[in-house]
């Protein structure tokens, strides 16, 4: 027998098993927190424990967390551990893959030269009366547009959806010390710059010089969990591994993939213009779209070859980084990170669509990271498992060389449950004043979305 409950926010009807009676769940449609009613005559079910004992009780705002000192960070590291070795055969394979990608780049340059020569030939050749002048003009215009499509990958900027803020050491000395200790134990150079943004993202550039930390992610993690995630990124630039060549391979493959699958501003403009009803001048550029597809098709072949050749090498590098992370914080924390990060991202994506409505109602949370943390405290272990198994699904990316979660877990299965670093304190304690930073970045986020005018009157305490 199953229990039925209707979401008061989106009117979606859910079915739940009898064992969930009295427990809190999340609506899969609008992500509102609902309480499954108890069966008639059944005793009330006690509130379940939160996903992590380090998080406060659900439904209440967490009190400010005292900052962690550098001494506490040093005390959290309890020893050294062995790093994965890179064989001579793998180093040789890296050079061979890099040589193949270099040839593919030469093929791309040959395409540019070929189309450029075609434009020159059309512009200077005398066709006499064999081809009408209008046909020559159209062919010349098509060749010029095809050349622009092939040149697009060289000038197409990567999207930066969030504003980044440079982090000063005085704002988070414990975080700087944590990253330095991680880099020391992984035999990798520490990032030269640390930036934060109002998002749940954690990323490092190809050269390992700039580390970007999303404050939303920090609000939902412990220091130990954050250390494991950072270790997985820093480990990709170990001195004892051919990290420079591997990062160059990733950069070339990523560039080829974006060239094929990512639309640029001009293509998006053509799409928007031709969605307008009626007859207008924008219809004249519609015949140029097939040429863009032809350019993508020409680049698809080098992209496919590059990703196929480098797939095994990139996956092995990812596995080594996972082993480093598991040996630092333990395979238990590593496994928790895989699932919990997905839940954080899913919850964040559920908050963003509500912001426009909350702005109209003049009740925007003054801190998006703290609002995210409050919602995460509502997620029970049962709900977290249900979300991972049914709602949160891995995004399918064409020719993605990254391993699956099951493969990553199997690689670290033989690692110890506990690692060389332990610290269950909230990751927000790494900052001297995480609350102020979270509120300031949230205000800038709202200002970009709604404008700064009358924004202060629309804010309410988060959580």
Report pLDDT for 270. Answer: 66
User: Does the predicted TM-score (pTM) go above 0.85?
Assistant: no
Q: Residue 23: its pLDDT value, please?
A: 60
- Closest residue by Cα to residue 47 from 346, 424, 379: 379
User: What's the Cα-to-Cα distance from 49 to each of 28, 224, 348, 378, rounded to whole Å?
Assistant: 21, 20, 22, 10
Instruction: Check if the beta carbon of residue 232 is closer than 8 Å to that of residue 215.
Output: no
The whole-number pLDDT of residue 144 equals 84
Give the pair of three-digit tokens for residue 185: 């134990």
Residues in the chain where the model's pLDDT stays below 50 = 1, 40-62
Please, what is the Cα angle at 433 between 206 and 367, to 5 degrees?
80
The SS3 of residue 325 is helix
Query: How confident is the model at residue 306, as a pLDDT?
Result: 87
Q: What is the pLDDT of residue 264?
A: 65
The pLDDT value given to residue 143: 85
pLDDT at 55: 35
385 closest CA partner among 423, 428, 343, 414: 343
Q: How far is residue 461's CA from residue 117's CA, in Å, rounded to a whole number?
A: 63
pLDDT tens for each residue of 65-99: 678 888 999 999 987 888 999 889 889 999 999 99
C-beta separation of 53 from 42 below 8 A? no
């Amino acid at each position: 027998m199953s229990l039925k409950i209707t979401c008061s926010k989106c009117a979606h009807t859910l079915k739940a098993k009898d064992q969930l009676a009295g427990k809190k769940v999340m609506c899969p449609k609008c992500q509102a927190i609902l309480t499954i009613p108890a069966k008639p005559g059944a005793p009330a079910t006690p509130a379940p424990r939160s996903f992590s004992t380090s998080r406060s009780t659900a439904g209440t705002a967490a009190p400010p967390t005292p900052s962690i000192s550098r001494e506490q960070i040093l005390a959290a590291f309890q020893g050294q551990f062995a790093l994965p070795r890179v064989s001579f055969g793998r180093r040789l394979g890296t050079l061979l893959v890099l040589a193949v990608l270099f040839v593919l780049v030469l093929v791309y340059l040959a395409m540019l030269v070929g189309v450029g020569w075609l434009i020159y030939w059309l512009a200077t050749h005398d066709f006499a009366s064999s081809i009408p002048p209008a046909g020559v003009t159209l062919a010349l215009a098509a060749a010029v547009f095809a050349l622009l499509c092939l040149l697009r990958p060289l000038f197409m900027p990567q999207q930066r959806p969030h504003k980044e803020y440079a982090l000063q050491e005085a704002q988070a000395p414990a975080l700087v010390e944590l990253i330095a200790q991680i880099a020391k134990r992984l035999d990798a150079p520490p990032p030269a710059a640390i930036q934060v943004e109002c998002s749940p993202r954690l990323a490092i550039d190809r050269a390992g010089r700039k580390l970007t930390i999303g404050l939303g992610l920090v609000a939902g993690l412990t220091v130990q969990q954050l250390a494991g995630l950072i270790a997985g990124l820093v480990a990709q630039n170990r001195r004892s591994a051919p990290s420079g060549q591997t990062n160059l391979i990733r950069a070339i493959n990523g560039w080829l993939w974006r060239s094929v699958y990512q639309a640029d501003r001009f293509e998006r403009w053509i799409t928007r213009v031709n969605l307008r009803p009626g007859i207008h001048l924008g219809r004249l550029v519609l015949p140029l779209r097939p040429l863009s597809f032809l350019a993508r098709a020409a680049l698809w072949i080098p992209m496919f070859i590059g990703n196929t050749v480098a797939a095994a090498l990139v996956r092995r590098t990812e596995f080594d980084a996972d082993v480093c992370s598991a040996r630092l914080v333990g395979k238990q924390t590593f496994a928790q990170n895989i699932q919990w990060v997905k839940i954080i991202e899913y919850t964040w994506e559920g908050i963003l669509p509500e912001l426009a409505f909350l702005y109209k109602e003049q009740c925007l949370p003054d801190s998006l990271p703290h609002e995210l943390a409050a919602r995460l405290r509502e997620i029970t272990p049962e709900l977290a498992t249900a979300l991972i198994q049914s709602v949160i699904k891995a995004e399918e990316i064409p020719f993605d060389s990254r391993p699956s979660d099951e493969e990553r877990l199997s690689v670290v299965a033989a690692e110890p449950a506990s690692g060389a670093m332990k610290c269950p304190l909230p990751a927000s304690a790494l900052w001297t004043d995480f609350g102020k930073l979270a509120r300031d970045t949230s205000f800038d986020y709202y200002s970009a979305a709604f404008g700064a005018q009358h924004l202060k009157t629309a804010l309410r305490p988060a959580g």
